[in-house]
């Protein structure tokens, strides 16, 4: 099975983000970009499928600027991806999900793909637009918020669960299709040290951005950081029972969490 996984470099979770002068972009200076969250789960899913279906290959594809994009591709190779393609982003365009989807679709359409896996949304902007856009651009079915994905060899179909607010839906899907995965239900593995060393020397196919890919149709006007949190309130108490009683009173009478 040929599995393509789309990954995006996102700021490490502990990063303190700053808005760049002008207010329309985030300041990337000193920010560490990593393979994280939904994409990490998507890659783990691809590696599990590869291990269960003999002869499978995992091909990671990322669209973005240097050096962060190369770094997440190498991280994916260290985790077990067989091939990597980097679609180079012209400066300033990497943030738009539809532009990214067009760039990724261009790369994916030129390589074998029985399954295109993505995180259901990116760990930073959480737009969630790339998986459905890829489905449209590649003219194949797409599914989001997927968990418990497995391959049924007797039916030659994927089986999975789609979680919704109302409950769960069980689905089957043919090849090829695009699947956007839920986060952190499959305990992503850690790269082994020798594989990290090997990944540094692994080839990465570079693909220039398609000049015919139109730029974003929308751009954010300004970025704002969340307001600083107001101070926590300490409860004075002598016994745990007293602490609990005071907390319940505050939750009921002041925060009105319950009647």
Among residues 200, 217, 233, 238, the one that binds other proteins under rule CB under 8 A: 200
Q: Does 67 bind other proteins (CB under 8 A)?
A: yes
Q: Does 192 bind other proteins (CB under 8 A)?
A: yes
Among residues 62, 121, 182, 199, the one that binds other proteins under rule CB under 8 A: 199
Q: Would you say 192 or 249 has its CB closer to other proteins?
A: 192
User: Least distance from C-beta 192 to other proteins, angstroms?
Assistant: 5
Going by DSSP bridges, is the β-strand pair 177-181/115-119 parallel, antiparallel, or unpaired?
parallel
Question: What is residue 47's three-state secondary structure?
Answer: helix
Q: Would you say 81 or 103 has its CB closer to other proteins?
A: 81
Question: What is residue 231's three-state secondary structure?
Answer: coil
Among residues 13, 193, 255, 257, the one that binds other proteins under rule CB under 8 A: 193
Is 137 in contact with 99 (CB distance < 8 Å)? no
Q: Which two tokens stand for residue 63?
A: 């669209």
| Run of H or E including 180 | strand 177-181
| Stretch binding other proteins (CB under 8 A), from 80-88, 189-197, 222-230, 248-256 | 189-197
Q: Does 194 bind other proteins (CB under 8 A)?
A: yes
Query: What is the distance, to the nearest Å, from the Cα of residue 140 to the centroid of all Cα atoms in its chain?
Result: 20
Q: Does 78 bind other proteins (CB under 8 A)?
A: yes
Q: Does 206 bind other proteins (CB under 8 A)?
A: no
Q: Would you say 74 or 113 has its CB closer to other proteins?
A: 74
Residues 6+ apart with CB under 8 A from 170: 159, 160, 161, 162
Q: Contacts for 134-138 with beta carbons within 8 Å, 24 or more apart?
A: 134/6, 134/101, 134/104, 134/105, 134/108, 134/178, 135/177, 135/178, 137/101, 137/102, 137/105, 138/105, 138/108, 138/109, 138/113, 138/176, 138/178
Q: Does 75 bind other proteins (CB under 8 A)?
A: yes
User: Least distance from C-beta 231 to other proteins, angstroms?
Assistant: 11
| Stretch binding other proteins (CB under 8 A), from 52-60, 144-152, 164-172, 191-199 | 191-199
| Stretch binding other proteins (CB under 8 A), from 94-102, 118-126, 133-141, 184-192 | 184-192
Binding interface with other proteins (CB under 8 A): 34, 67, 71, 74-75, 78, 190-197, 199-200
């Amino acid at each position: 099975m040929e599995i393509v996984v789309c990954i995006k470099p996102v700021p490490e979770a502990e990063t303190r983000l700053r808005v760049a002068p002008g207010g329309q972009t985030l300041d990337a200076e000193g920010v560490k970009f990593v393979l994280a969250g939904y994409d990490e789960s998507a890659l783990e899913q691809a590696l599990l499928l590869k291990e269960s279906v003999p002869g499978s290959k995992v091909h990671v594809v990322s669209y973005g600027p240097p050096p962060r994009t190369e770094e997440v591709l190498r991280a994916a190779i260290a985790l077990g991806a067989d091939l990597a393609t980097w679609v180079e982003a012209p400066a300033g365009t990497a943030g738009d999900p539809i532009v990214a989807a067009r760039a990724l679709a261009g790369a994916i359409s030129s390589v074998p793909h029985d399954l295109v896996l993505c995180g259901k949304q990116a760990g930073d902007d959480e737009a969630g637009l790339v998986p459905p856009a890829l489905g449209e651009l590649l003219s194949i079915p797409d599914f989001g918020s997927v968990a418990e994905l497995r391959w049924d060899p007797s039916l030659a179909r994927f089986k999975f669960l789609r979680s919704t607010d109302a409950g769960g839906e069980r689905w089957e899907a043919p090849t090829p299709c695009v699947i956007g995965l839920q986060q952190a239900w499959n305990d992503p593995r850690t790269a082994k040290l020798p594989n990290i060393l090997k990944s540094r020397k692994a080839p990465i196919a570079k693909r220039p951005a398609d000049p015919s890919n139109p730029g974003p149709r929308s751009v954010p006007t300004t970025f704002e950081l969340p307001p600083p949190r107001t101070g926590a309130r300490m409860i004075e108490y002598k016994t745990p029972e007293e602490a609990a009683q005071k907390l319940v009173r505050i939750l009921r009478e002041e925060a009105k969490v319950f009647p």
